[in-house]
């Protein structure tokens, strides 16, 4: 039985992360991708730690917390952020929002094979509708594959979705002793362990320009701590089929924001794909 509180978490997560990619794309003329990822991760750690310290909940993690922390920190916040921030420099923000959030083609089969989760026929239908929506939004016919870096950018986004799916599976197999909010600062710091060396190696002359500071403050101060907490908890509490289909709302939101703000084109593929994704979410919540 799905709980309304868990669905609210899912809605918070997809709203924040759907809008994050257009904001990130807008920041990249003034910042290099990996250093922007470092800034959002470390600022997220600082904000989350400040909130916990103010409420008297900041503490060193227990032994039971480490598997989930390592999964989220290294895979979701480290690997996922590295791949997606590099890809958004090569791929339009709307397509990045679509492909980065398509955990459905990894999470549903992994939930069945690893967690032995039973998926109802309605939720299989929801998954099929969601994938059809993704195909409409990000179909290969809509891309000029001759553009430099386009194929590499798409491959990085598919791999990023796999890392996110693995992090969700780990948090469900090895739940922490406290809430994910309580261990979130440590997860962000672990993400920084991955991102900082990569930024130093791949972007030795990069950084965050003055024009990117407002974007970085929004992403690192609000989206990173609040959105990451919501998306982890939603993925941990909801069935894999429901959460993976629900995460598809993020690209739909990202495409709307990209169209209104960045002027990326809104065509029949966006309208049909968005409609199929909304339908898939409705079917999944009823299944």
Domain locations along the chain: 4-286
Lowest mean pLDDT among 42-56, 161-175, 238-252: 238-252
User: What per-residue confidence (pLDDT) applies to 285?
Assistant: 67
Predicted pLDDT of residue 283: 78
- Residue ranges in the chain assigned as alpha helix (H): 4-27, 33-54, 66-70, 81-88, 93-100, 104-113, 121-138, 150-173, 180-202, 213-218, 228-237, 240-246, 249-257, 268-286
Q: What is the pLDDT of residue 111?
A: 82
SS3 199: helix
At 31, phi and psi to the nearest 5? -150, 150
Q: Residue 106 has what pLDDT?
A: 80
The answer to whether the beta carbons of residues 249 and 240 sit under 8 Å apart is: no
Higher pLDDT, 153 or 260: 153
* Per-residue model confidence (pLDDT) at position 262: 64
pLDDT at residue 249 is higher than 80: no
What value does the mean pLDDT of the chain take?
A: 83
Q: 9-48, pLDDT tens digit by residue?
A: 888 888 887 778 778 878 888 999 899 999 999 999 999 9
Query: Taking CA 44 as the corner, what is the angle to CA 40 and CA 49, rounded to the nearest 5 degrees?
Result: 160
pLDDT at residue number 104: 66
Q: What are phi and psi of 275, to 5 degrees?
A: -65, -40
For residue range 89-144, what is the model confidence (pLDDT) as tens digits?
787 766 666 676 676 668 778 888 888 878 778 778 877 887 787 777 666 666 66
Q: What percentage of the chain has pLDDT greater than the value 70?
A: 84
More confident position, 258 or 211:
211
Share of the chain above pLDDT 90, in %: 32
Asked whether the predicted pLDDT for residue 261 surpasses 80, the reply is no
Q: What is the mean pLDDT of residues 152-167?
A: 87
pLDDT tier for residue 154 given thresholds of 50, 70 and 90: confident
Q: Is the CB of residue 281 less than 8 Å from the CB of residue 45? A: no
């Amino acid at each position: 039985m799905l709980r309304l509180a868990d669905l609210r978490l899912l809605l918070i997560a997809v709203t924040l992360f759907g809008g994050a990619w257009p904001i990130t794309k807008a920041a990249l003329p003034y910042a290099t991708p990996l250093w922007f990822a470092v800034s959002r991760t470390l600022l997220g750690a600082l904000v989350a730690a400040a909130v916990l310290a103010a409420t008297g909940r900041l503490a060193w993690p227990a032994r039971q917390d480490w598997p989930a922390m390592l999964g989220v920190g290294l895979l979701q916040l480290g690997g996922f952020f590295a791949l997606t921030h590099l890809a958004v420099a090569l791929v339009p923000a709307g397509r990045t929002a679509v492909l980065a959030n398509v955990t459905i083609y990894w999470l549903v089969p992994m939930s069945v094979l690893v967690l032995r989760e039973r998926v109802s026929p309605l939720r299989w239908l929801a998954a099929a509708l969601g994938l059809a929506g993704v195909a409409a939004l990000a179909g290969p016919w809509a891309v000029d594959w001759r553009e430099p870096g386009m194929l590499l950018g798409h491959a990085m986004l598919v791999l990023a979705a796999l890392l996110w799916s693995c992090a969700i599976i780990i948090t469900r197999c090895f739940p922490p002793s406290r809430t994910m909010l309580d261990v979130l600062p440590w997860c962000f710091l672990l993400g920084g362990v991955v991102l900082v060396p990569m930024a130093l190696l791949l972007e030795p002359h990069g950084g965050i320009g003055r024009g990117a500071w407002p974007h970085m403050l929004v992403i690192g101060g609000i989206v990173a701590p609040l959105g990451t907490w919501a998306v982890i908890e939603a993925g941990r509490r909801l069935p894999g089929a429901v959460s993976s289909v629900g995460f598809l709302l993020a690209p739909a939101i990202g495409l709307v924001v990209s169209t209104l703000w960045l002027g990326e084109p809104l065509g029949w593929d966006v309208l049909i794909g968005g409609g199929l994704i909304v339908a898939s979410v409705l079917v999944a919540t009823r299944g």
